[in-house]
Every structure is written in C-alpha cells, then in structure tokens.
A and B are shown apart, each in its own frame.
Chain A
Amino acid sequence: MSATFDPTAVLRVLAEHEVRFVLIGGIAAAIHGSPYVTTDIDVTPLVARENLDRLSEALRALDARIRTEGVDGGLPFAHDAESLLRSTIWNLTTKHGDVDLVLVPAGTAGYDDLVRDSERLEILGVEVRVASLADVVRSKAAAGREKDRLQLPLLRRLLDETS
C-alpha cells in the first residue's frame, strides 16, 4: 500500500459517481466486528454497462492503477466498461489505498447474490451497502486462502453470536 489508506475516501468517490456495489472482504468483516486488520478494500460492483461506465469514471478519479509487486504506485491502465469485464478480479492501487474489484467473489454469484442480504449503512457520511457477515464467511470459506482459513473460526463464532 503506497498511498495513505482511507477506505472512506474510496467509498465516497464511488458513491459520488453513483456506482452500485457491495462492500465485502476484510473491511466488511471488520464492520461486523472482526478484529482482523486488512490493508485493502474489496468491492463487488453490479455488472451492468451503465454501472461499469460509472465505475470506470470513479477509477479515473481515484487514479487507479494495476497493483504489481515491486512497482511502487502501480502500472497505469486504460479502462472502460467493456475492458473491466475482461477479468473477474482487479487488484488496484489508488490515491486512497489498495482496492480489489471482485466481480464474482468465490462462493457467490456476484452483486445480485450479495446485495440481497446486504445492509445499507451510513458510514462517516457515506452510504454503503455492506455484505452480510454470513456472505463474507461464505466467500472466505470458498476462497480457501490460508489467511481466510485462519480467520474463519472466529468469524463463524461471531456469526453465531450475532445472527
């Protein structure tokens, strides 16, 4: 993470561009009470032409670049609605920190699946849809990464305690 990590600023830019998305991953887990630290922000946008156009504009406003190990500040990339569809995950770095665009998180069917059970919250003046803890757990369990596997027992217990 080369820029100052400011998830609220990222969310504000997305909201200002009227991008429809669901916040997932570690930040969503933290909002639900997870004590684990994360250094990036994961969002799942609605995959629809107009929304991806707005997302592309928002990415320009965020000065988003491709996150690449060993390249401080990332690699510039041209994007529009069509090109954003060429990958299901974009690991980006922006002027407000690292952002992962995850079109179809593991174990889910993407935005429509996640938005159904999401919560609409106002966080520091920004209205955001946050994935349910059940969906965060579902996605982390399906992803099967080591860091997720280690967090799952606590997240599942949190889910049991709060649902």
Chain B
Amino acid sequence: MLAAVEARRLVKEARRRAGLTQAQLAERVGTTQSAIARLEAGGTEPSLSRVDVLIRACGLSLAVELDDRPPVDPDEWDRALRNLDLSVEERLQNVVAAARFIAAGRRSRAVR
C-alpha cells in the first residue's frame, strides 16, 4: 500500500501534467471518474502497482527509490504554517524584507 497522501499527490500531479481530466484518466484505465476523484481526495489507499498503472496512463513513469528523508526542522515548519495564515502579498513582502536585510548585512562594515 502507498500512503494515501502520496498516492493522491502523485496521481493528481501526473494527470495535470498530462492535461487530462479525471474522466479522461478514468476512461484510459477502465474505471470511473468518481473512483479517480476519491483517490485524489485521499479516500482510498491504492497499491503501488495501481498507482503505477494510473501514472503510465498519463504518459509518465513512476520511479521509486529509498530516500533518507531528513526530518523537517520544527521551527521552520512553524514558520511555514504561520506563512499559510498570511496573504500572498504578505508572504512576498516577508521574503523581500529578509532578502533586503541580508543584502544590507553583506554590504555593511564592521562597527568598532
């Protein structure tokens, strides 16, 4: 079984990259649009081979590899979650402010 969240993301991304609707993908693999919608909503946990079939139907292939995924720094994750509460403009302004501060720091001279 593949974690529902991964399967959902992979199939949705493959379908979008192929420019297919859920109904078109469903037709290619002989299932229903609602089954694809359920999978993309995380309502089912398909097998790896089923995900592979769906991705191939989008003209892509699934590459699986072992990954030493390092843990996400909790402080950085908190900042990301706080960002999600901001508007797009506020997110951009935060980046610009930080980038400007860094640039100013690089140009600055040491104070004695």
Q: Mark B85-96, 1 if CB is under 8 A from A, else 0.
A: 000110110111
Chain B nearest CB from A111 CB (Å) reads: 14
- How far, in whole Å, are A138 and B69 apart by their CA atoms in the complex? 16
Interface SS of B by simple majority:
helix
Contacts of A7 in B (CB 8 A): 92, 95-96
Least distance between A4 CB and chain B CB atoms (Å): 7
A-contacting residues, B9-35, CB 8 Å: 9, 12-13, 16-17, 19
- Is A106 among interface residues, defined by CB-CB distance under 8 A? no
B62 CB–A CB distance under 8 Å: no
Could you tell me if B99 and A39 are in contact, using CB atoms closer than 8 angstroms?
A: yes
A157 to B78 Cα, complex, angstroms = 12
Q: Which of B9, B94, B95, B99 contacts A160 (CB 8 A)?
A: B9
Residue on B nearest A162 in the bound complex, by CB: B84
B5 at interface (Cβ–Cβ under 8 A)? yes
Is A76 positioned at the interface, with any CB of B under 8 Å from its CB? Answer: no
User: Is A35's CB within 8 Å of the partner chain B?
Assistant: yes
Question: Which residues of A lie under 8 Å from residue B77 when comparing CB positions?
Answer: 154, 157
Q: For residue A116, which residues in chain B have a CB less than 8 angstroms away from its CB?
A: 16-17, 19
A66 contacts the other chain (CB 8 A): no
Choose, from A14-22, A25-33, A51-59, A79-87, the stretch at the interface. A25-33
Do B83 and A123 touch across chains, with their CB atoms under 8 A apart? no
Asked if A35 contacts B88 (CB within 8 A), the reply is no
Question: Is B8 touching A163 in the complex (CB atoms < 8 A)?
Answer: yes
Inter-chain contact B76/A27, CB cutoff 8 Å: no
Q: Indicate if B66 sits at the interface (CB-CB under 8 A).
A: no
Contact indicator A153/B69 (Cβ below 8 Å): yes
Q: Do A4 and B8 touch across chains, with their CB atoms under 8 A apart?
A: no
Asked, given contacts A5-B99, A5-B100, A162-B84, whether A134 binds B13 with beta carbons under 8 Å apart, the answer is yes
**Sample (27) of A-B pairs whose CB atoms are under 8 Å apart:** A1-B99, A4-B100, A5-B100, A5-B103, A7-B95, A8-B92, A8-B96, A26-B95, A27-B95, A30-B94, A33-B83, A34-B83, A37-B102, A39-B99, A113-B17, A116-B19, A117-B17, A132-B16, A134-B9, A153-B69, A154-B72, A154-B73, A156-B69, A157-B72, A159-B9, A160-B6, A163-B9
Pick the 5 closest A-B CB pairs, nearest first. Answer: A35-B79, A33-B83, A37-B98, A30-B95, A39-B99
